[in-house]
A and B are shown apart, each in its own frame.
Chain A
Amino acid sequence: MKYRLSWGKLLIVLFLLFVVAVTLYPFIYMISVSLSKDIYVLKGQISLWPKGLNFKVYRLVLEDPRIVKGYLNTAIYVIVGTTVSLIVTAAGAYAVSKKEMLFYRTFTLLIVFTIFFGGGMIPTFLVVKSLGLIDTRWAMILPTAVVSWYLIIMRTFFSAFPKELEESAKIDGLNDFGIFFRLVLPLSKAVLATIGLFYAVSIWNNFYSALLYLRNSDLFPLQVVLRNIVLAGQVNSVKVTSIGQDSLIVEESLKYATIIVSTVPILLIYPFLQKYFSQGAMVGSVKG
């Protein structure tokens, strides 16, 4: 390998560093502001590193009952929702990966068509309502349980499963049901983990379903709580003033801390998403 520094190379490296900076800076800035002493925030003196490091606002955020409840609700939605979604999607995907299945064409078309056309917001709302799901936890789980793209990615994965293995299992007396649960699923951990993480992230981030289907604030997921605090400005003012005396709380720091607290789980798991998804995304969008 020869090493030659050229203007072109330098330009590319600078450009890529610029991309990194633009992507990361907003997060660094928010973290710094939320960790800084109020006086510096008010003066607008924070640019990169926190000044007067303290965790005061984080304590406030973590003590806010709305955020705690939102966290718990979202955790329930993510755990139950991902499980339901994965089982339904994987079983369905395995079925349509078998061309010899009765109604194979009909079912495949049934799934693919929904990628191009849907009933829309209002008819879906009315269906959810008539099923009695409004203001229940299921409203956050069932209406978005299956994502057609993910199902197609899984189908492509299953159809590459070695036929010989399945046939030998059949000879040993397993039916398709047994093959799926005892042979195919254990050998598909990679794709299950990937699609599972995708479902988990999309449920974690889901604001739409809550906006449409939930009125009861006891059921609100974190995203709605976050929106109420940051965008609708419902900062818990009682708490803020009652902390008293010298400790003035800057609303801005509080909001940034809330954003960070609700994003940390995503920041922690997203690096694991990259392992398999390049193949997955490729299969889904190009051969779909």
Chain B
Amino acid sequence: MAETFVRKFNQSKYLLLLFIPCLIYYILFRYFPMFGVIISFKEYNIFKGVINSPWVGFKYYEMFFQSHDFYKLLRNTFLLGLYKLLFGFPAPILLALMLNEVKQRIFKKFVQSISYLPHFISNVVVVSMILMFLSPSSGIVNQLIQAFGMDPVNFMSRPELFRAIYVLSEVWQHTGWEAILYLAALSSIDPMLYEAAEMDGASRWKKTIHITLPGIVPVIIVLFILNIGSVLDISFEKVFLLYNPAIYETSDILSTFVYRTGLGQGNFSYASAVDVFTGIIGLIFIYSANSISRKVGETSVW
């Protein structure tokens, strides 16, 4: 045993050497924080540090579950994720199917290249654009509304509009990019199938239903699982930049709450408890999405 270990070590020592920087990174910035979550079970004190702060058990978890923020934060996070899934998931499929029908290469390439531009724009820029376009005094949207003789709308002070604004901006930003995966799957469909269908007199619509769609169903399923798994992964950056106290009612989510409680008010233990809770819910989502798909079909992510 020991001998094979030594031999194997000798064989792979240079590979291990190559892995060392990576290992250090993962231990420092990924695994230390994971052990750092113990502060959610402690009364963290900056001067005492993580190790020496006294234990308090589940105090902060109970505090969170009993607070009136709990329901609101969970609902807001979940609803934003759900609406994003509902509108953001089918959009790239639709775009890919449309692009697939276009036979002129140059036009197709042009539309595609334009469509994923917003994916690379920073959240600060996207949010700046949203807030300026929607501004009640000078925004172009309100100029348009006023041109039709209606009163300007103060979009960012109406809690009922926040979800729509967030989801729409996500769709605008990521649809083109996400369509790439479907387009790749579409291009791998055997053209012989289409030729055969044409010989049998199938219409364009029939070909889409019977050849194109089934061809990308595996990709759709895998991406759907991944999307369900990350339903709670709402972009902290975007919500943080976009929201304001007047609309916390619908826009405050778990991660923004963690930021305000932890770094804003210095309540590190409470904030980490909320953080850990979010992480665990996320794990449950991924795990159940994967096991459901494993039971229903043969596809699974792992």
Residues of A within 8 A of B (CB): 1, 6, 8-9, 12-13, 15-17, 19-20, 22-24, 26, 29-30, 44, 87-89, 91-92, 94-96, 98, 100-103, 107, 110-111, 114, 116-128, 130-131, 142-143, 145-146, 151, 175-177, 180, 201, 204-205, 207-208, 211-212, 223, 226-227, 230-231, 252, 255-256, 259, 262-263, 266-267, 270-271, 273-274, 277-279, 281-282, 285-286, 288
Contact = CB atoms under 8 A, between A and B. Distances in A.
Contacts of A96: 19
Contact of B22 (A88, A285, A286): A88
Contacts of B98: 12, 15-16
Nearest to A47: B140
A102 B29 contact: no
Residues of A contacting B: mostly: helix
Given A100-B11, A118-B30, A263 B262 contact: no
Closest 9 pairs between A and B when the two form their complex, measured CB to CB: A119-B33, A92-B22, A123-B36, A120-B275, A205-B122, A176-B14, A95-B19, A123-B33, A91-B18
A114 B180 CA distance: 25
Contacts of A17: 111
Given A125-B262, A285-B223, A180 B18 contact: yes
Residues of B contacting A: mostly: helix
Given A277-B180, A286-B222, 15 more contacts: A102-B12, A116-B282, A116-B283, A119-B30, A121-B255, A121-B258, A122-B268, A123-B35, A125-B262, A142-B29, A177-B14, A205-B120, A255-B132, A271-B113, A285-B223
B22 A120 contact: no
A205 B22 CA distance: 23
B72 to A, nearest CB: 19
Given A122-B275, A123-B275, A13 B102 contact: yes
B102 A91 contact: no
A98 B26 contact: no
Nearest to B33: A119
B259 interface: yes
Contacts of A9: 101
Contacts of B131: 230-231
A18 B178 CA distance: 18
A114 B271 contact: no
Contacts of A126: 33, 36, 39, 50, 268
